[in-house]
Structure formats: structure tokens, C-alpha cells
Structure 1
Amino acid sequence: MRKVRIFGLIFIGGGFIVALAFFLIGILKPKTAGVFIDTNPASAVFINGLQVGRTPYRDNKQKTGEVVIKLIPESFEIPLVPFETKLNLVKGIETVIRREFGETDEFSSGEIISFEKLSKSEISLVVISNPDSAQLIIDGQTKAFTPYKAGTITPGEHTISISSKDYVDKTIKVKTQQGYKLTAIINLQKSRNIATPTPTPEIEKKTLVEILDTPVGFLRVRAEPSTLGEEVGQVKPNEEYVLVEEDEKTGWYKIELVPAKDGGEAKAGWISNQYAKKIEQGSDDTSPTPSVFKTPTPSVKPTVVN
């Protein structure tokens, strides 16, 4: 009987020691967290300044607390911008980082999925986007705009879709768990197909010349700004022509008789300013431009200046 008691005490004591050992191991064992990183293209992974590998990268033995993660893309064609962020790693939780690299931050995209411990009865989902105020759809149902917090959501897999003007839409899947708040930080890529409004070309205002009444019912067009110039055509009162230039000495107008076609030269000639006035194209002001009449070069025989 005495031996039975001794064996019983030894058994109980041994069990107590084993339980105490497991308890102490649980307390003294370092608290670890996890991180999973996936990128396109592959990238070098730096944690707190130390290179730890390349993507896809997974480590479930990270120390808890704040860490700085930097990703440097491996690109041999065009330079891609690196990505750096601070994370708070939580015991027993794997934080997920996904990144699509671009030439700049605005042409890059990705998401960070992290968890935060709540009471066992709670469950929550938070969605943050860059840019903010993006249209949010969860499981096919519109949920207004980001940032958004769902106070009540069922545990399990959910589909999150984000869209914003001038950005590429993005859809991801997340899995919420009872007793945790899931936070999804989603970065959208700037669209490369933004329609740039075509500027309305300014209509070049041309100065026109209106033909006035003449004693003979028409006005001669000459090759030179003088009555001695060869006649190259005739114009009639009330007709309008584009002003090419104005002779400083005589005040005569050089007008465009026939516009240039198929790369050819326009036909032009000179008319007396005595029977013409300048007007701005599109202007309602039809009053003649004041000009000083200059005496034409004397001709060999008397003629009507027109």
C-alpha cells in the first residue's frame, strides 16, 4: 500500500514537471509572425536593411513588431521603381504583400493584407485605397467609396473590387477570420489610356480687303504697286480678298486672287488703296481703315486709276 502511494506521488510529480516544462517553453519561446511577398517581376527582398531572399518569399519565423520591407525589382529592359513600406507583424499572423512594378509609383499597383487581433466574437474588414474615394464593390454589392469599414461581415472568402476614374480596376480575394480585423490596402495603377482633350486650334485671323465702288465698275489688279504695272486681273466692288501685304510707299494692297492649290503658288496682285478698305476676318466692323491717299506714279498717257 505504501509503495502504491509512493508510485502515485512520483507519477503526479512527474506529470506536474512535464506540464510546467511545456508551460515554460511556451512562455520562453520567441513570439513569431509570418510574411509572404509576391511580385511581378521578381524582386530582391530586404527586411530592416538586410537582404533575405527574392520573391516569391515566405518566412513564418519573423519577430513580431514593426519592420521595414524594401523590394527592388529585377528588370533588364526598363527601369522600375522599388517599393518600401513599414509593417507591424503580429504573432501567429501572416501578412501578405503583392506588387506589380511600374516605371513610377503611379504606374505600379499592389495590395497589403494584414490582420489585427480582436475579441473572439468580433470580425471586421477594412479597405483602404490609393487613390482614396474609389468605388468599392464587395461580393458583387456596391459599398460606397473607400476608405470603408465593414462592422459586420461573415468569416470566409470575399471578393473585393476597386475602381477609380483614370485608374486601372483591380480585384482581389481575401479571407476573413473570426476574432480578427482584416485590413486591405490596395494601390491602383494609373491608366495609360487617359484621353487627352485635343486643344481647339485657334482660327488664324486674316486681314481682308473689300473692293469699293469705282467709276468704271471694276478695279484693275496689277503686277506692281503702280499704275505702270502690268494688269494681271480685275476685281469687282463688294468682293473680298485676303490681304498679302501693303506697300509702304504707295499704300497699295497686295491681294490673293487665287488661293494656292496642291502645293502650288497662289496668284496675287496689287490694287489701289483708293478703292479698297481693310477689314478683319470675322469682324462686324465694316468701316474703312483710314489711309492716306498717295499720288500714283504718273503714266505715259492719262488713265483712270482703278
Structure 2
Amino acid sequence: MAASRPRPRLRRVALAGGAALVAVLLAACTASGQPQPTMAAGASPGISASASVPLETSQTSTKSPVYWLGRARNGVYLYREFRDAPGSDNAVAKALRLMMSAKPLDPNLFSPWQSPKKLAASISGTNVITVDVSSDAFNSSVDEQTAQLAVQQLVYTASAAAASAGVIDSDQPVQVMLLVDGRTDQLAFNRVQLGQLMQRDPAMVAPMWIIDPQAGTSSPHGQLTADGRTTTPGSVVYWQISRADIKTDKAPVVTSGHTTSVPSGQNQGQYRFSVALPPGKYVLRVFPSDPGAGDPTALAWDSKDFTVTR
């Protein structure tokens, strides 16, 4: 985490007007006793509630962090990509517009959100991010669990973008209020009751994911440096690299190994390793335990296709 900083003054940043409206609504929500932060229901089984999901830092990337939904192992979880975010909107609005309008780089990921006509974001000095979005953003028919994940997708993306841009105090809890057309009493996707401050639910994020390489990218000169994140700092991460351009029922593993994620400090949960590879197309998979001779696609928490060039 970043070094402790004085609590920032009130900041408001907004899209397409609406900043005053958001500020008034936020004041109305907090003036007579601030609502207690809540975590979305419907958490996937088998994930410890004490798992660590550290906030992104302002040194993480110059690109916008965006979370998506992805199926892996025994359920659907949140995964993160870093994306170019053109335009003059503030950092939170940029990331949320990407989340609601763009497609993930990884074809295995998806988002139930629709591109909204209106979107505004504001940040207060008490680390509260308020997002006001038009109702057309919810024009998807989803089940209860997917709706819960989608709301957390917004919470994760908004807080990640604010932390990465350095506009919140990363040493303090971050809370998100989601409004629909300026109202607090709406249902997201006709499933999830809004109107309460929300925090990141650690049960919703994938316990292990790959940050680099991103799907479809190229690694030059035969050298791959991979890094990622696990929500259990100090845990062992097993990895395998297979050829993606060999058309067989089960592509052979080119190389494999394991590493330990950083147990504590600013980079807690991060893992990194490097390997030399000849030119070709590959897939990298990461696992919580040694996959051995089993089917890697059934055990991997995350996978990414990439190319090594000459």
C-alpha cells in the first residue's frame, strides 16, 4: 500500500454535468447517519471471506483497470484487464464506460452491462465514490448471481480506477454508492437492491489471475515475463505454458514451474516469473496446486493466449 497521506479535501469529478445532483444526493444519504457499507450477497462457495484483495496503486499502470466476469473452475468470478482509455472524462468515468461499452481482450471474459446514455462519477474526501448511471445500462436479462457479480464488477472497477489515478486515499476504506437516474431506491438488473454504500466483496474476485501477458498480446525476442495476482499472499502459484498453434486434442506442455506470491508489503499477492520461449503461439495457465498429469483446462484459475515473436 502507498505511504499514509493526509485525508484529501473534497473532490468532485463528473461526466456530462450532474456533479451537483450527485453531491446533493450523496449529502442526503449521509447527513443523517451514514449507511453502513454492505457487500453483495451470492458469494461463490469455497472462497475464504478473509481473502485479501488489495487496492490498485497509482504506480500500477498508466492504463485504466477494468474488471470483467469470467467462468473458471467451480463458478463465475471477477478478473481484471488494463485498457487504453481515450477521452477527457475523469479516471473513474473512463474505466466504467469501458466496462459498460467495450469488449474484454480475453474472449473468455464478458460483461452484462450495456452502454449507458448518461454516466457521472464523483469522489468525496471521505473515500466515497458515487456513480450515477442511466437505467439503460441494465438492459440485460441476468440471473441473481450474475446481477450480484455485475454490481461488484462496478464496485471493483470504480475503486480500482480511483486508486490507480491517485484520487483517493488508498490507506482508508473505499465505498461506492450506485445511483440510477439520480435515485438511490432502484434495483440493478431488476435483481439487486441499491441505496447502500458498498465495498469490495473478496468472495467475488478470482483467487488467482494473470495480469501480464494480456490476451492476444505479443512478447518479443523469445522472452516472456509473466506476472499476476493472488488473493492469498504467500501462496504457491503453479503455471504451465502450452503451444496454442498445435492442433491436437491436448497440446503438450512446453514448460511449467511454480513460484510464490509476495507475502506482504505494497506488492502483496503479486507473483512474477520469466521464461525463454521460441517463436510461436502459446497459452499460459495458472493453478492453485500442481496440475500434474490432469486436464489443465479443468483446474486453471486463469489462462491467456499470447504470441512470442522473433
After TM superposition, is the score higher than 0.5? no
Q: Which has the larger radius of gyration?
A: 1
Structure of higher RCO (CA pairs closer than 8 Å, 6+ residues apart): 2
TM-score normalised by the chain length of structure 2 = 0.23
Structure holding more strand per residue: 1
TM-score (norm 1): 0.23
